[in-house]
Amino acid sequence: MNQTFMEIDGFVPLEDQEKKEFAARYMLILDPKFIKVVEGKEGLIGFAIGMPDLSTGIIKARGRLLPFGIFHILRASRKSKKLLMLLGGVRKDYRGKGIDVLMAVKLFEACITHHMELIDLHLVLEVNTKMRAECERIGGEIVKRFRIFQKEL
C-alpha cells in the first residue's frame, strides 16, 4: 500500500504497527473471495480488496453486534448484491502491464458467482484519469463526487 499510494496527495505511509492494526480490524469481515493479489519476484505487486455491502445488516441490527446483530450483518454479507471496493493498487513499475485487468476479471468472476449486480468503486480520485477511463470503458458511471476545497484565512 505504501509503495502504491505514494503519489497521492496527502497520503502518509503506514508504520508496521499501523498495518497490523488495520489488518486485524478488517480481517474478520473480509471475504477471501473478494481479495485478489498478484505476486512477482520482488513480492506483492498488485492488490484489490472488496467486500459485500453490509449496510442493510447494520441497519437491521441497529448498529449493535450483540446479542443478535452479528447474525443480521453476516446474513447481509451473504445476500448483498453490491460489492464495495475498499482498496486497490499496482506498484508503479508494473502499471500498464495488465495486472489491474487480471485482478478486475477475477473480481468480476467472483461477483458473477455470488450474484452481485453492482460494484461501487468509491474514492477513485478525480485526477486518477487512467482508473476513471477504465471504469467508464466497461460501462461505469460517476454517481457522486467528493471534493476538498481550500481557502486561506
Predicted confidence at residue 110, as pLDDT, reads 92
Highest mean pLDDT pick, 7-11, 51-55, 131-135 = 51-55
Tell me the pTM.
0.79
Q: Is the dihedral of CA 137, 140, 144, 145 positive or negative?
A: negative
Per-residue pLDDT tens over the stretch 67-84: 888 888 888 888 889 998
Q: Cell 480490524 sits at which residue?
A: 25
The mean pLDDT value for 22-42 works out to 86
What is the domain partition of the chain in residue ranges?
A: 2-137
The CATH number corresponding to 2-137 among 3.30.70.2740, 3.40.630.30, 3.30.70.20, 3.40.50.300 equals 3.40.630.30
Predicted confidence at residue 34, as pLDDT, reads 92
Per-residue buried b or exposed e for 50-89, using 16+ beta carbons within 10 Å of the residue's own CB: bbbbbebbbeebeeeeeeebeebbeebbeebeebbbbebb
Amino acid residing at 110 = A
Residue 1 has pLDDT above 80, yes or no: no
Q: How confident is the model at residue 12 (pLDDT cuts 50, 70, 90)?
A: confident
Count Cβ atoms below 10 Å from residue 36 Cβ, excluding itself: 20
Predicted confidence at residue 38, as pLDDT, reads 92
CA distance 14 to 1: 8
Q: Name the percent of the chain lying above pLDDT 90.
A: 15
Greater confidence (7 vs 30) lies with 30
The mean pLDDT value for 128-148 works out to 79
